[in-house]
Structure 1
């Protein structure tokens, strides 16, 4: 674990997905951002982002890179982690409509339905009001996105779909040091979700110091 600082070091899991955009958003939020591909790099960060991408590919690659068990161990030990889209799937304890043999890292007491909103052609945008981010809505970009099918008592829903047939579905939530969104805030230029995560990491460091 890196030393306590007002500028936390946050890694982005860089085996697959939209890594560069998350690095830029974290830096805008006041963190030192770095890529993580090896267990030693994971051990050196104060928090971690698991980006969007393709969850089945990501699952296979974390095993190839011998990161699966280290990731599970760090999550269980309280490492703050933010999962976006595929990253949300990776943090779920339970998965619906997964590919044969697909595994998650777990840590969050949620059931996630993979590709819940449909295929790539069904991607869409919506305005969401996200708890903890103030009154201005977030422009949420959903790309082959999952949703939370159900959540345990320790999970705090932060945003739900507000329009259309999926209205009411949970698409952002927090459980202690774990944060998830089924949408992609890194592509919109609105860095408030990443700022929230940087604040979660800072709070974790204060509690551990």
Structure 2
């Protein structure tokens, strides 16, 4: 069973830990570099991307995480985590930085404010069965995906799920649903079987 860390600076940490356990992985929260060095993969949870960036700087994790992700550490980002995995950012806070890794341009809060949050089914390539019940909360979307990025899901034409190599990102929050198919996909990516 792979050991998958959940970046525990803020956001849906407990929800991702539970989802990973139910998807067949051992899961642990990570806040420090020495904790990151023992994991086989990493989840970057939803929350607030500028807060994640500032806390990553405060905990001296920004550059080490960039290097680990560039070096092949499998990572999955949901919502703010998608923003943090983007190589390019639109509508970021002044000076906002990301971990990068996925050749995409992401727009923060693209679907609107908190009051504009919504849920609806989204077809996700690679998942068997019914469309995924997606929960969008102040969600981003992908405005541009590079040639090596596989688009896995769209909502009304907007890109909301992508994969590039061992990196996976969704604009929505699969951890807030009982459906574990996206976490299972990430576990299989960490194992090297997908």
TM-score computed with the length of structure 1 as normaliser: 0.91
Q: How do 1:1-209 and structure 2 match up within 5 A?
A: 7-161=1-155, 167-203=156-192
- Which consecutive residues of structure 1, in runs of 5 or more, have no partner in the other structure? 1-6, 162-166
Q: Distance in 1 between the 2:35 and 2:134 partners?
A: 30
The Cα offsets for residues 84-132 of structure 1, whole Å up to 9 and x where unpaired, read as 0000000000000011111111111000000000000000011011001
Please list every run of 5 or more consecutive structure 2 residues that lacks an aligned counterpart in the other structure.
Answer: none
Q: CA RMSD in A?
A: 1.0
Give per-residue Cα distances to partners, 1:110-165, cap 9 Å, x unaligned. 0000000000000001101100101311000000000000000000000000xxxx
SS at match of 2:192: helix
Q: Flag the structure with larger Rg.
A: 1
List per-residue Cα deviations over 1:155-179 (Å, max 9, x = no partner): 0000000xxxxx1110000000000
Any runs of at least 4 consecutive aligned residues in structure 1 with deviations exceeding 6 A, and if so which? Answer: none
Q: TM-score, normalised by structure 2?
A: 0.98
Q: How many residue pairs end up in the alignment?
A: 194
